A = this chain, B = another copy of it.
Amino acid sequence: MDFVNKLSPAQFLQHQLREVINLLEKQQLEKSLLERTPGEHHELLETVLRKQQESRLQDKLAELHPADIAFILESLPMDQRMLVWNAIEASHHGQVLVEVSDAVRHTLISSMESADLASVAENLDADEIADLADDLPKNAMLKILRSLNNLERKHVNDVLAYEDDQVGAFMDFGTITIRADLTLNAISDYIRNLGKLPKHTDKLFVVDHDNKVQGVLPLSRLLTHAPALTAENAMVTDFVQFEVDQEIAEASHAFERYDLISAPVVDREGRLQGRLCIDSVLDYILEENDEERLIQAGVTEEEDLFSSVWKSVQNRWPWLLINVTTAFISTRIIGFFEDAILQLVALASLMPIIAATGGNTGNQTSILIIRSLALGQITSINVGRLIRKELTLALLNGIFIGLVVGSVAFFLYRDWPLAGVMALAMLLNLLVAVVAGLAIPLLRHKFDKDPAAGASVMLTSITDAMGFFIFLGLASLFLL
C-alpha cells in the first residue's frame, strides 16, 4: 500500500480503480488498432502485444492488497471483471475470493476451471477455506480437503460443523496456549522461538492439562509485568469466553460491550477449540446489517451491482409478487364498497391517506421494537409497560393526526360528517397500525423467527387493507 502520496484510503482505492480501468481501456484500444492494421506479422504482433498488456495489468495487481482487488472486482462490469481476475496471480486467487462479496464470488468461481479451483486453498487458513466451502463445487472441495494435513482438515471440518449463526462457524485457530506454571520470561522466549504471532493476537490462553482455559494473559501484561512472575500470577481470570454453539449475534454484542479483540472459544465441557476475533465479528455485523436492510426492502439475496439482469429479476420478483397479492386483498375490500364510492366519490380520493399514514406509524413502532429486540432490551418483565406506552402514543397521535386530516377534509369538501368519519377512521387505523407494529416482530421473535424479515411488507398489507375497510365501513354506516 502506498499511502505516502497523501491519498486517503478511499481516494487511494478510487485511484487504483481508475488506473486499472485505464489499463483495460488502453488494452481495448490497442487491440482494435491492431485489428485495423493488416500485415504479415499480424499474429506475432498480437502475441507480443497481449503479453505486454497482461504483464502491465499483472504488475499493477500484484502490488495491491487482496481486499483492494476485491473492491476493484466488485466495481467492474462482468467483461472487465474477468480480464482483471485472470490477470491475478493464481496463488492469490484464494485470498481475493475470501474478501469479495458473495454475489461476485459466485460469478468468479463459476468462471474457474476445476483444476484452478482445487489450488485455490493454497495460501488460506482453515477458517478461510471453510468460508469458501459453501460456494465451491463439491469436487473441488473434496480435492482441497485431501490436499490438507490432518490438523488442517480437522479444523476445516470443525468450522463447517456449525450453523451459520453459531460462534463455531466464525472461529479461527490462531490460538497460542501456555501453561500456568511458566514464567513470563519463559513465555517471551517461547514466543520469540515461534518467530511470528497470528494476526489479532492480543492475549495468550492459559490452559490446563484438559485444555480448559484457566485464564488469559494479555500481551500488555506480558510486556509490563515482572519477568519472574508465573502466568498463573499474571493472568486475568475474569475473562469472557464463548461456547462453540452460542449465537454469533450474542457474541458480537459482548465484543462491543467489553471492547474485545480476541476471545477463547470452548466446547460444552470448556475445552479450548479456537478463538473468535474482532475481524470476524466486524464482518458479521456488517453483513448482518446489510442483509437486514435488503430483506426489509424485499431484495431476497445479496445482489451484485453488475449481476445479469435475469438474475436480478429472479431476485426481486418474489417480494414483488407478494406485494401484488396483498395489494389485491385491498382491492377486494374496496370493491366490496363500490356502491358507497358511487354515492360519495370523495371517499375514493380520501381513502389512500388513511392507509398510507397507518403504514408509516406502524413502521415506526415495528422498527423500534425490532431494534430493541436485537439489543436484547425487551424482556418478559418490561414488555407490558412497553405495549401500554405504544398504545397511549398511538391514541395521542391518532387524535392529533385525525384532527388535522379531518380539518383538511372539511376544508376540501365542506362536509362535517365526512370530516368526522375521516378523523375517526384515522384514529382507529393508527391503533391497528401500532398493534400490528408491536405484534408482528414480537410474535415472530417468540417463535424464533427473524423479527425483521418481511415486517414492512406484512405491516403495510394490514394497514392498507384495514385502513380501507375501516374508512369505507364507517362511511357506509354514518354517511349514506
- Please report the C-alpha to C-alpha distance between residue A14 and residue B219 in the assembled complex, in whole angstroms: 32
**A-B contacts besides A195-B224, A298-B364, A330-B353, 17 pairs, CB < 8 Å:** A1-B258, A8-B242, A9-B240, A17-B381, A196-B224, A259-B279, A294-B367, A297-B364, A298-B360, A306-B386, A309-B393, A312-B393, A319-B360, A320-B361, A328-B408, A330-B356, A352-B468
Q: Determine whether the beta carbon of A257 is less than 8 Å from that of B220.
A: no
At the interface with chain B, which of A28-36, A43-51, A150-158, A198-206? A198-206
Q: Determine whether the beta carbon of A65 is less than 8 Å from that of B257.
A: yes
- Please report the C-alpha to C-alpha distance between residue A286 and residue B13 in the assembled complex, in whole angstroms: 24
- Indicate if A228 sits at the interface (CB-CB under 8 A): no
For A, the interface residue count at a CB cutoff of 8 angstroms equals 133
Q: Determine whether the beta carbon of A379 is less than 8 Å from that of B75.
A: yes
At the interface with chain B, which of A126-134, A395-403, A443-451? A395-403
Q: List 21 A-B contacts (CB under 8 A).
A: A1-B238, A9-B251, A14-B376, A75-B377, A75-B379, A202-B261, A219-B219, A282-B285, A297-B363, A299-B364, A312-B389, A313-B396, A313-B400, A317-B397, A323-B356, A324-B353, A327-B356, A330-B353, A335-B412, A338-B349, A360-B457
- Please report the C-alpha to C-alpha distance between residue A422 and residue B229 in the assembled complex, in whole angstroms: 81
Min Cβ gap A172→B in Å is: 12
Q: Which residues of B contact A200 (CB under 8 A)?
A: 259, 261
Q: Which 4 A-B residue pairs are closest in the complex by CB-CB distance?
A: A297-B367, A9-B254, A197-B220, A348-B348
At the interface with chain B, which of A52-60, A66-74, A105-113? A66-74
Q: Determine whether the beta carbon of B256 is less than 8 Å from that of A282.
A: yes
Q: Which of B9, B14, B71, B352 is A355 in contact with, Cβ under 8 Å? A: B352
At the interface with chain B, which of A82-90, A136-144, A186-194? A186-194
- Indicate if A341 sits at the interface (CB-CB under 8 A): yes
Min Cβ gap A221→B in Å is: 9
- Please report the C-alpha to C-alpha distance between residue A250 and residue B8 in the assembled complex, in whole angstroms: 8
Q: Is the interface of A mostly helix, strand, loop or mixed?
A: helix
- Indicate if A62 sits at the interface (CB-CB under 8 A): no
Q: Which residues of B contact A289 (CB under 8 A)?
A: 289
Q: Which of B327, B392, B397 is A352 in contact with, Cβ under 8 Å? A: B327
- Please report the C-alpha to C-alpha distance between residue A305 and residue B219 in the assembled complex, in whole angstroms: 40
- Indicate if A477 sits at the interface (CB-CB under 8 A): no
Q: Which of B17, B223, B296, B377 is A197 in contact with, Cβ under 8 Å? A: B223
- Indicate if A321 sits at the interface (CB-CB under 8 A): yes
- Please report the C-alpha to C-alpha distance between residue A294 and residue B316 in the assembled complex, in whole angstroms: 24
A17, A238, A356 interface centre (most CB from chain B within 10 Å): A356
Q: Determine whether the beta carbon of B223 is less than 8 Å from that of A219.
A: yes
Q: Which residues of B contact A9 (CB under 8 A)?
A: 240, 242, 250-251, 253-254, 257
- Indicate if A290 sits at the interface (CB-CB under 8 A): yes
- Known interface pairs A298-B363, A382-B77, A464-B352; A65-B320 also in contact (CB < 8 Å): no
- Indicate if A145 sits at the interface (CB-CB under 8 A): no
Q: Which residues of A from 350 to 368 have beta carbons under 8 Å from B?
A: 350, 352-353, 355-357, 360-361, 363-364, 366-368
- Please report the C-alpha to C-alpha distance between residue A386 and residue B241 in the assembled complex, in whole angstroms: 45
A354, closest chain B residue (CB): B327
A253, A259, A296, A408 interface centre (most CB from chain B within 10 Å): A259
- Known interface pairs A202-B202, A251-B9, A364-B316; A65-B258 also in contact (CB < 8 Å): yes
- Please report the C-alpha to C-alpha distance between residue A67 and residue B256 in the assembled complex, in whole angstroms: 9
Q: Which residues of A from 174 to 233 have beta carbons under 8 Å from B?
A: 188, 191-192, 194-197, 199-202, 219-220, 222-224
Q: Which residues of B contact A350 (CB under 8 A)?
A: 331
Interface string of A407-429 (1 = CB under 8 A from B): 01000100000000000000000
- Indicate if A303 sits at the interface (CB-CB under 8 A): yes
A17, A324, A401 interface centre (most CB from chain B within 10 Å): A324
Q: Determine whether the beta carbon of B377 is less than 8 Å from that of A71.
A: yes
- Please report the C-alpha to C-alpha distance between residue A160 and residue B139 in the assembled complex, in whole angstroms: 57
Interface string of A1-13 (1 = CB under 8 A from B): 1110000111001
- Indicate if A440 sits at the interface (CB-CB under 8 A): no
- Indicate if A460 sits at the interface (CB-CB under 8 A): yes
- Please report the C-alpha to C-alpha distance between residue A240 and residue B282 in the assembled complex, in whole angstroms: 18
Q: Determine whether the beta carbon of A356 is less than 8 Å from that of B460.
A: yes
Q: Which residues of B contact A76 (CB under 8 A)?
A: 382
- Indicate if A372 sits at the interface (CB-CB under 8 A): yes
- Please report the C-alpha to C-alpha distance between residue A168 and residue B360 in the assembled complex, in whole angstroms: 37
